[in-house]
Amino acid sequence: MRAISPADLKQTGPCTWDIPRSFRNDMRATARLFADQPMLDHLFGERALEQLVNMTTLPGVQEPALAMPDIHQGYGFPIGGVAAIRADEGVISPGGVGYDINCGVRLLASEVSHGEIRDRLPALATQIQRDVPTGVGRAGRITLDEHAMDLVLNTGLRWAIGAGHGDEADAEVVEERGCLAAANANTVPDRAKKRGADQLGTLGAGNHFLELQRVERIYDQECGRAFGLFEGQVTVLIHTGSRGLGHQTCTEYVRRMDVTMANYGITLPDRELSCAPFHSPEGQDYFHAMAAAANFAWCNRQVITHEVRDAWKRVLGSNQPLAIVYDVSHNIAKLEEHRGVPCIVHRKGATRAFGPGHPELPERYRTTGQPVFIPGSMGTASYVLAGTETAMRESFGSACHGAGRELSRHKAKKTISYDQLRASLRLAGIEVRAGSARGLIEEAPEAYKAVDEVVDVTAQIGIARKVARLRPIAIIKG
């Protein structure tokens, strides 16, 4: 299998590059990449482009297989990979979803400005760190028995609301209202349930975080008003997923499909893409289990929201609401119709970006398009965007999900100074609450692509438009 070189890519737009089907005889679709030239140059030193080409070999894949501007090497799919696969004759692949099923981002908006709480920010950051368990293996305050676990998996946000962790106004602005109807707790492995039993309301580690931010700039005033945002406003961004439950679910279905794939006559260039026909027993079991894990993740972010709201009231003595702007998923496979064809849209490190008028959007966002959140690396800006009609035509209603790694965690630990990192964050006026020096270094700004460039490319190709830029004022990490 020969390496991909710059000569193999054909530029078809200012930030659009194609690897045609003629590149390899097992490709079933064009491989398309959204990137500017500097981003492209960096990719030839890793496997991300090879993984993008490998995506095109999946049975039923539709034109084109896509990579977003935050593309980097992942498991099976590259991070930033999007593939729409025909539901009637195609496959479903756990490697096209990822281990942290329904890892996603939720934005909360306050009604106060940064200046109003600046003096109490250190206390607020400390209280949130106390109230939201963070780090590998940290247990939450909720322990689910077998019956409660099945309710969480089957009903998603309905369970959290019934348990007093939210209300109907919250559900209205969560993708799928926080519940995939396809969920079936019986298909989730027992070991996955055991791993998740005490993890609701926990942040985890790695690239997961909770940030307090101030709205630095509004690009689109009308859209900003619809999203409830104003300059100087304090917001909260929560990034986490299904924790150990999702990871174990993916692990066991990858193994199962790796064993049974040959029974369906499927051969692929990378065993990390192990898959099964969507309508096969294995494919349906995974789809139901993935949906259940997604429901768990929505409950997790909801319980964390409840914990943040409690910390907010405790420190600020305020009953002012922290309203959810939106909650979007970026490791998920969804049954959607595109170009008149029912498809299983795999979004691996990519977020949904439905445009104005889409019936699945809340009424308040029907005229603006769906809120899209692109977090930067720790200490840099994050962005709020809005989905577009162009995304519906060009990217199966998808956009990127973050800045995208540029350095591996191993390389970050070897090249980044902890003392210098802490000093730079302090100089920027950012409160930091972290569980370990290693975890902080792995997520340093130098380890990621420049989020401004990623967002500029996204906006230039038209799959999302800029609404607001957010600056961190406090960071809580595992």
Q: Is 27 annotated as a binding residue?
A: no
Q: Is 329 annotated as a binding residue?
A: no
User: What is the number of H-type helices and E-type strands within the chain?
Assistant: 16, 19
Q: Is 211 annotated as a binding residue?
A: yes
Q: CA neighbours within 13 Å on the CB side: how many for 474?
A: 22
Query: Is the torsion defined by CA of 273, 42, 448, 12 positive or negative?
Result: negative
Angle subtended at Cα 292 by Cα 166 and Cα 55, rounded to the nearest 5 degrees: 120
Cα separation, 32 vs 68, in Å, equals 9
Q: Which of 291, 266, 290, 288 is nearest to 276 (CA)?
A: 266
Q: Is 477 annotated as a binding residue?
A: yes
φ/ψ region of 375 (left if φ > 0, alpha if ψ in -120 to 50, else beta) reads beta
Angle subtended at Cα 455 by Cα 376 and Cα 438, rounded to the nearest 5 degrees: 20
Q: Is 150 annotated as a binding residue?
A: no
Q: Is 149 annotated as a binding residue?
A: no
Q: Is 283 annotated as a binding residue?
A: no
Angle subtended at Cα 306 by Cα 182 and Cα 241, rounded to the nearest 5 degrees: 45
Is it true that the peptide bond before 375 is cis, omega within 30 degrees of 0?
Answer: no
Q: Is 227 annotated as a binding residue?
A: no
Q: Show the tokens assigned to 224.
A: 């900003």
Catalytic residue among 114, 247, 401, 410: 401
> Cα separations (Å) of 74 from 49, 55, 128?
11, 12, 31
**Cβ count within 10 A of residue 230:** 15
Q: Is 207 annotated as a binding residue?
A: yes
Active site residue 346: no
Is the distance from CB of 89 to CB of 216 less than 8 angstroms? Answer: no
Burial (CB < 10 A; 0-12, 13-18, 19+), residue 132, is buried
Cα separation, 189 vs 457, in Å, equals 40
Query: Is the torsion defined by CA of 371, 372, 375, 380 positive or negative?
Result: negative
Is the distance from CB of 128 to CB of 120 less than 8 angstroms? Answer: no
Q: Which of 301, 141, 169 is nearest to 236 (CA)?
A: 301
Q: Is 279 annotated as a binding residue?
A: no
Q: Is 306 annotated as a binding residue?
A: no
Q: Is 382 annotated as a binding residue?
A: yes
Cα separation, 88 vs 428, in Å, equals 52
**Cβ count within 10 A of residue 63:** 13
**Cβ count within 10 A of residue 258:** 15
Cα separation, 415 vs 441, in Å, equals 9
Q: Is 401 annotated as a binding residue?
A: yes
Q: Show the tokens assigned to 201.
A: 């309301």
Q: Is 100 annotated as a binding residue?
A: yes
Q: CA neighbours within 13 Å on the CB side: how many for 122?
A: 3
Q: Is 209 annotated as a binding residue?
A: yes
Q: Which residues are annotated as a binding site for Mn(2+)?
A: 100, 208, 239, 330
Q: Which residues are annotated as a binding site?
A: 100, 207-211, 239, 330-331, 375-378, 382, 401-404, 477
Q: Which residues are annotated as a binding site for GMP?
A: 207-211, 330-331, 375-378, 382, 401-404, 477
Active site residues per annotation = 401
